[in-house]
Amino acid sequence: MSATPPSSPQETSVTGAVEVFALLAAGELAAFARLADDAAHAPELRLRIVLSRMAAADLSPLDRVEQHVADLGVDPEELDDLIWEFREVLAEFDARTTPRDWWERLVRTYVGYGVFTDLERAVTAGLEGESAAVAAEVLGDAGLSDFVAATLRPVIDAEAQLGARLALWGRRTVGEAIGIAARLLQTHPELARSAATGLGLADASSSEQTTAVLNRLTSEHARRMNRLGLTA
Amino acid sequence: MSATPPSSPQETSVTGAVEVFALLAAGELAAFARLADDAAHAPELRLRIVLSRMAAADLSPLDRVEQHVADLGVDPEELDDLIWEFREVLAEFDARTTPRDWWERLVRTYVGYGVFTDLERAVTAGLEGESAAVAAEVLGDAGLSDFVAATLRPVIDAEAQLGARLALWGRRTVGEAIGIAARLLQTHPELARSAATGLGLADASSSEQTTAVLNRLTSEHARRMNRLGLTA
């Protein structure tokens, strides 16, 4: 028996693309579940309807992702296993951050959606050709961040004590989100490599790449908390 | 001060239509929440994706309902209050029937979706003109019953003990569903009247109308349990 031949560049690129698209699919499923759960807890009808619709919208790119990965010739079971694995890791964010009220719930969704969408956007940087085009198409923002910011900002501006509590909660939740992003990048170096390409660090070490991506996620988070009138 | 004048037939008809469409909207929101929760509990990826998609599909007719009720010239706040009230009543079905495992969860969804969809279909019978057309458009089946029956039937056929437990559970859950349907019809005679029209009982008493509708829901349920190989 001969040893396994080294991967060709083409094979490496497909593996990377599969991991990236599995993360996008898992992110869509996790966002759907989180927003649907938020909708179920919404204190009044219009909020419930808006969040339910945003949950549904988050799911719609899934078709496109599945079709594209099938076009790449990937074994569907391999893809499903990877989506399931990523989804379980992403779900830990929710399991570890139980909100005490509606406002903490909205902040959690705002923080989690922001960090994980930034992570998804980052890891698509190394994609090329059709894969890059599909990723760009799939990664549209359904307006969730704007909606949550518009809902939270006036309440935070009006109640300093609530603002202080939510700032603390924002730090707690972003800690969990960044921890999960770190775990995904460390256990799947192809994701880190793809994201680092977009930061001009294609040749850096895997741990340097991970650190650079996490720094980017953290600074984007600070910018988002600023929109709420909170310090990250 | 003069007494409130009796409603004209036109006013009565619009009130009836508003209650019917509020029930349709509440049913869509409740089904979305239930299916999204089922999806979150699904033991593997394909089930999770199918149920998430069906949840999202259940929500899509909401636009059409809202637009139509607005066209009827109804006060949006009045409509929202009614949707919220109906939704809370429908949500009691889920609160009162906590499934012990995945199979009980699927049976609960099958039973609840069946009874409440039948109820929605029944109460649209008294609609006329554009309202009737919109209702027919909105009440399409996204294939949930077929999907659940196809998933459950082989498992039930293969495991007699599970089948016996699920038959018992089916009776428990349909009892709750019919109880909720009864409450909706009793507290909103316009709904009962609209449904009775389709059964040729437009002139019967309100309680006779309610009984006739509940009998219809019960016999449709028996037919559905039969599809699973279970006795209602």
- Name the residue facing A48 among B29, B48, B55 (closest C-beta): B29
What integer pLDDT is reported at residue A6 of this predicted model? 44
User: pLDDT higher for A118 or B10?
Assistant: A118
> How large is the ipTM?
0.87
- A14 close contact with B: CB closer than 8 A: no
Residues of chain B with C-beta less than 8 angstroms from the C-beta of A56: 32, 55-56, 59-60
Q: Give the burial string for A166-198 (b: 16+ CB within 10 Å, else e).
A: bbebbeebbebbbebbbebbeebbbbbbbbbbb
**B16 closest CA partner among B77, B82, B64, B67:** B82
Nearest Cα residue in chain A from B33: A40
CB contact under 8 A, A37 and B39: no
Q: Quick one: angle between helices B62-71 and B76-96, nearest 10?
A: 140
- Name the residue facing B59 among A29, A40, A52 (closest C-beta): A52
- DSSP labels for B41-53? H-SSHHHHHHHHH
- DSSP labels for B183-198? HHHHH-HHHHHHHHHH
Closest CA of chain A from B47, distance in Å: 12
What integer pLDDT is reported at residue B215 of this predicted model? 96
Position B230 confidence tier, pLDDT thresholds 50, 70, 90: very high
Question: How far apart are the C-alpha atoms of B208 and B161, rounded to whole Å?
Answer: 39
- A83 close contact with B: CB closer than 8 A: yes
Q: Which two tokens stand for residue A154?
A: 């006036």
Backbone phi, then psi, for A73, in 5-degree steps? 80, 20
Residues of chain A with C-beta less than 8 angstroms from the C-beta of B37: 36-37, 40
Residues of chain B with C-beta less than 8 angstroms from the C-beta of A24: none
- Name the residue facing A32 among B29, B46, B52 (closest C-beta): B52
Question: How far apart are the C-alpha atoms of A171 and A220, rounded to whole Å?
Answer: 13
- A100 close contact with B: CB closer than 8 A: no
Indicate if the pLDDT at residue B66 is higher than 70: yes
Q: Cβ–Cβ contacts within 10 Å for residue A17, how many?
A: 26
For chains A and B, CB pairs below 8 A equal: 62
What integer pLDDT is reported at residue B10 of this predicted model? 44
Interface subset of B 151-180, CB within 8 angstroms of A: none
Residues of chain B with C-beta less than 8 angstroms from the C-beta of A42: none
Q: What is the mean pLDDT of residues B98-116?
A: 96
Position B205 confidence tier, pLDDT thresholds 50, 70, 90: very high
Nearest Cα residue in chain B from A54: B56
- A44 close contact with B: CB closer than 8 A: yes
Closest CA of chain B from A63, distance in Å: 10
- B44 close contact with A: CB closer than 8 A: yes
Q: Quick one: angle between helices B76-96 and B9-41, nearest 10?
A: 40
Supply the pTM of this predicted model: 0.89
Residues of chain B with C-beta less than 8 angstroms from the C-beta of A48: 29
Q: What is the pLDDT of residues B117-158, one digit of tens each?
A: 999 999 999 999 999 999 998 887 778 899 999 999 999 999
- A42 close contact with B: CB closer than 8 A: no
- B79 close contact with A: CB closer than 8 A: no
- DSSP labels for A185-206? HHH-HHHHHHHHHHTT-TTS-H
Q: Cβ–Cβ contacts within 10 Å for residue A75, how many?
A: 11
Closest CA of chain B from A20, distance in Å: 17
**DSSP E strands: which ranges in chain A?**
none
CA separation (Å) from B163 to A57, B107, B167, B224, B231? 37, 11, 6, 15, 10
Query: What residues in chain A have per-residue pLDDT under 50?
Result: 1-12
Question: How far apart are the C-alpha atoms of B228 and B232, rounded to whole Å?
Answer: 10
What integer pLDDT is reported at residue B12 of this predicted model? 45
The answer to whether A21 touches A30, Cβ cutoff 8 Å, is: no
Q: What is the pLDDT of residues B80-106, one digit of tens each?
A: 999 999 999 999 999 999 999 999 999
Indicate if the pLDDT at residue B179 is higher than 60: yes
- What angle (nearest 5°) sits at the alpha carbon of residue A179, between those of residues B47 and A174? 95
What integer pLDDT is reported at residue A5 of this predicted model? 46
Q: What is the pLDDT of residues A175-205, one digit of tens each?
A: 999 999 999 999 999 999 999 988 899 899 9
Q: Give the burial string for B163-190 (b: 16+ CB within 10 Å, else e).
A: bebbbebbeebbebbbebbbebbeebbb
Question: How far apart are the C-alpha atoms of A151 and A145, rounded to whole Å?
Answer: 10
Instruction: Give the HSE-up count for residue A139: Cα atoms under 13 Å, Cβ half-sphere.
Output: 21
DSSP state of B202: T
- Name the residue facing A49 among B52, B55, B62 (closest C-beta): B62
Q: Which of A37-46, B25-34, B36-45, B195-204 has the lowest mean pLDDT?
A: B195-204
**Residue that the structure tokens 């296993």 belong to:** A81
Residues of chain A with C-beta less than 8 angstroms from the C-beta of B29: 48-49, 52
The answer to whether A59 touches B58, Cβ cutoff 8 Å, is: no
